[in-house]
């Protein structure tokens, strides 16, 4: 469906530009957008590569294991069915820390590893488990104390106060994260009650 929507918007834009004499501006916009896309791709590749390396260093040094132990009460509350020393705890912890620091791109490798580790707990099931759904929703809500990526974007585009997004970002992501925890807790409990009833 999205393919049709995007195709419609592109064709409509080209036709409108042709009839209003703005086809030259359209060409310049296309070239500029293509350049920006390539620059962004290179930047993302560099950032993801750097944070993937940091993640490997943190794993080898035992830092993720130490942090996951400190966050164990929170992780157990959010994911009560994950075993105490399971590797998923380490990846979820690293993902949460990257999210809190606003390093959205750094969340990708840790999030994928966390999902793979959570899948190992339910290899006999073809649907997403409660833990996988909870992790995905919390990842999307993305509590951020310092949105580093957004600050970097604002600074690179000449914002006079790139740090101004910290307070509104913290408020909005705190609200979404709290709502995500409440919703996940309610739905998980309701699903457990249904399972016990049918058992």
User: According to the model, what pLDDT value does residue 72 have?
Assistant: 81
Cβ–Cβ under 8 Å, residues 92 and 75: yes
The residue among 122, 57, 54, 61 whose CA lies nearest residue 88 is: 122
Instruction: Residue 141: count other Cβ atoms within 10 Å of its Cβ.
Output: 21
d(CA 34, CA 156) in angstroms, rounded, equals 18
pLDDT score at 26: 76
In tens, the pLDDT along 46-101 reads 766 776 677 678 778 887 777 777 888 888 888 888 888 888 888 888 888 877 77
103 exposure class (CB count in 10 Å sphere: 0-12, 13-18, 19+) = buried
Look at residue 175 in the predicted model and tell me its pLDDT: 92
Which of 134, 131, 52, 60 has its CA nearest to residue 98?
Answer: 52
Low-confidence ranges of the chain (pLDDT < 50): none
The pTM assigned to this predicted structure is 0.65
The pLDDT value given to residue 195: 67
């Amino acid at each position: 469906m999205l393919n049709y929507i995007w195709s419609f918007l592109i064709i409509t834009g080209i036709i409108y530009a042709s009839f209003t004499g703005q086809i030259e501006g359209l060409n310049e916009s296309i070239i500029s957008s293509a350049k920006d896309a390539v620059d962004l791709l290179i930047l993302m590749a560099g950032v993801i590569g750097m944070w993937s390396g940091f993640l490997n260093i943190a794993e080898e040094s035992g830092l993720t294991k130490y942090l996951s132990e400190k966050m164990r009460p929170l992780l157990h509350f959010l994911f009560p069915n994950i075993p105490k020393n399971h590797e998923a705890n380490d990846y979820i912890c690293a993902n949460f820390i990257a999210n809190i620091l606003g390093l959205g791109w750094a969340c990708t490798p840790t999030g994928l590893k966390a999902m793979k580790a959570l899948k190992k707990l339910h290899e006999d099931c073809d649907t997403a488990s409660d833990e996988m759904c909870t992790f995905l929703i919390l990842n999307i809500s993305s509590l951020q104390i310092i949105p580093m990526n957004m600050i970097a974007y604002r600074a690179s585009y000449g914002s006079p106060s790139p740090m101004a997004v910290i307070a509104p970002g913290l408020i909005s992501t705190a609200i979404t994260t709290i709502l995500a925890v409440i919703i996940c807790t309610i739905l998980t409990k309701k699903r457990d009650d249904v399972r016990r009833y049918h058992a």
